[in-house]
Chain A
Amino acid sequence: MRILGRRIVFYLITALAAITVDFFIPRMMPGNPVEAILAHLQGQISASTVKSLAVQFGVQTKEGLLGQYLNYLNNILHGNFGISTSYYPSSVSSVIKGALPWTLGLVGVATIISFVLGTVVGVLVAWRRGSWLDNLLPAMTFFQAAPYFFIAFLALELFAARLGWFPTGRAYNQLDFPALTFPFAGDVLSHAALPALTIVVCSAAGWIVGMRNVMVTTMDEDYVLVAQAKGLGKRRVVWYAARNAVLPSVAGFSLAIGFIVSGALLTEIVFSYPGVGWILLQAVNNRDYPLLQGIFLIITFAVLAANLAADFVYVMLDPRTRQEA
């Protein structure tokens, strides 16, 4: 358990570092972009909001850097990310709160599907090495290398615009009113299907290649030979090897999740899906700095939490990590 404790400490430090980076970026930029935006906003939003934003970004304030930093930290610990200028007068946290469920639902489900699917297919490809399944690998490389949003473009044109199987964007029909009914749930599912499919197709490629590579190495291990020599069924032997080969995939989750989240954000943008990626684009287009920073921190925290979960799973799966403690 000591290992988990150390990981938690690391994630806490990382979160603090992310907040620090977030604090310093606007203060390090040349030409003070925030001041220009604030001048631009004068009159559009209330004077007190302009003043609080100025304090948040450290312009036109007499407080020292350390005082500003502690103030900032305190605000974030209380979930106060400031006021959004593009969704004025909503606070940044309420804007993010509205978008987060859509992203968590879409990206979470798609990631789990792609991980399970990718792992199973990876085992199959490794097990059947030398069969036609090897031809999957170059295709996988293509999907891995192509930008998510390009695949999303293709999916939109083909399945939504030409074939008309799926809607071309948004999370639900505009005429629908969100309610807990079966028709509405079906509507949400049909809107989520195509973006989810895009994310699965693109991210499963990485899991397939990774799993295959480890699996190929694992199948050369002595215990696999022993299992085979004992006359165990093929499925059982593959199961033994796969159980061990999956460990690096779980451990590599932390590397992958950042990529997947980034790709998913862009996918949301292509599909006008009202999740975090979509409001991120709004924030970029409107130079809504408080929202931009808030989203960065929320995504970072979510990724750290996902990493922590992966670490827990790893400790559960691999008894060796428990013995060490």
Chain B
Amino acid sequence: MSAITDFGAASADGAPAAAGPPPTAARTRRGRGRRVRLPKSPKIIFGLVTLGVFLVVAVIGPWIAPYSPGASVSTTNGVPQPPSAAHWLGTTQLQQDVFSQLLVGGRSMLVVAFLSGAIATVLSVVVGVTAGYLTGLADDLLSMLANFFLVLPALPLLIVIFGFLPASGGSNDLLIGVIIAITGWAFGARVLRAQTLSLRSRDYVDSARLVGEPTWRIIGFEILPNLMPIVASSFLFTVLYAVGTYTAMAFLGLINPEHWSWGTMLFWAQSANAEISGWWWWYLPPGLAVAFLGTSLALLNFGIDEFINPRLRAGGLTRKRVKRYAAGPVPRRFQLGMTPVVRLRDGGQP
């Protein structure tokens, strides 16, 4: 709860920032320990730790992999070998080491995911904030563009694009990231536009306009800093989306199957019917890796959501606390008036 109070005050900081130099305002905000407070939620801790592990794997994975992902490690037979001391996660039908594939495949996955997350976030900030701030015809057109990309089913569109792409394009992480970003920016743009609309009529923005600050400065230094939690949340959302989409593309065989990622591992497993032949060690590790990567991103996102809106927090009144309050006037189930939501107008005290 203190986190939201802090957040409210941080937003209100925008008002003095109109008069003073904005960098100082930003520093005070950070200095007050918003970063220190964030990791208190178990969701965020779990999310950060898991994501950290995946990032480390992505960096060092290809170096520590015991075998080359495409090399056949033995010539015994065409049946995948279950996990053993020599091959921790067993082998594939072509006698490739699954563990090595898993280690090598992480890099491409995270590169694509974070790259398209970054590109999509830039796009959504540019479109969303511009639309929300300018209003009028520009807003109508930009909103329409965003809504168009929102209702368009992304996966079939991506399949068509990748289907027409020459084979060399299917192994270029940069290109894959850009294409996924194009289909994934619209959601963030819509959320950012809505928030910008509500921010642009706040007093501190009005006063900045009266003082005569140029539009780019108002957007860059008054509005954007207050959108940061939403920008972060939409970044994570897009990374999560990219993880799922990239896996799906590779699973369908639209990415060059020799370009190792967890999705291509699933592609090979599916084409060998691993799931009905009981070769669980082949598809379970990449699938779980994708699922846990996704879960860590989603948990971080929830953490940010709860940080923005503390009413979403799980728990509420637990049984124990209900018992403790049983004699008092505290409502048993509905926590009315228990949530300190600091609104920007009246929450000005630092």
Contacts and interface: CB of A to CB of B under 8 A. Distances in A.
What size tier do the contact residues of chain B reach? 35 or more
B289 to A, nearest CB: 10
Interface stretch (A72-80, A113-121, A297-305): A297-305
B199 interface: no
A11 B151 CA distance: 9
Contact of A150 (B274, B287, B315, B318): B287
Nearest to A34: B164
Given A14-B148, A145-B297, A303-B153, A157 B276 contact: yes
B156 A147 contact: no
Interface in A277-315: 280-281, 283-285, 287, 289, 292-293, 295-296, 299-300, 303-304, 307
A316 interface: no
* Among all A-B residue pairs, the 10 with the closest Cβ atoms: A145-B294, A262-B155, A146-B291, A150-B287, A129-B316, A134-B314, A153-B275, A258-B153, A296-B156, A31-B166
A284 B255 CA distance: 11
Nearest to A30: B166
Nearest to A276: B156
Interface in A133-178: 134, 137-138, 141-142, 144-147, 149-150, 153-154, 156-157, 160-162, 168-169
Interface in B312-350: 312, 314-319, 321-322, 331, 333-336, 339
Contacts, number: 189
Contact of A219 (B156, B163, B297, B334): B334
B277 A258 contact: no
B161 A25 contact: yes
Interface in B244-286: 244, 247-248, 251-254, 266, 269-270, 274-278, 280, 283
B295 A29 contact: no
A71 interface: no
Given A295-B156, A304-B151, 11 more contacts: A129-B314, A130-B319, A141-B299, A154-B287, A216-B316, A219-B334, A220-B334, A255-B150, A255-B187, A270-B275, A299-B156
A26 interface: yes
B157 A296 contact: yes
B57 interface: no
Contacts of B315: 129-130, 134
9 contacts: A13-B144, A22-B160, A33-B165, A138-B295, A141-B295, A153-B287, A257-B153, A270-B275, A284-B254
A10 B144 contact: yes
Nearest to A125: B314
B87 interface: no
Given A129-B316, A213-B312, A150 B295 contact: no
A10 B140 CA distance: 12
A95 interface: no
Query: Chain A contact residues (Cβ within 8 angstroms of B): what range?
Result: 35 or more
A147 B319 CA distance: 35
A33 B43 CA distance: 47
Contacts of A255: 150, 187
A254 B287 contact: no
A13 B157 CA distance: 17
Interface string B189-220: 00000000000000000000000000000000
B112 interface: no
A127 B275 CA distance: 39
Interface string A80-116: 0000000000000000000000000000000000000
A141 B252 contact: no
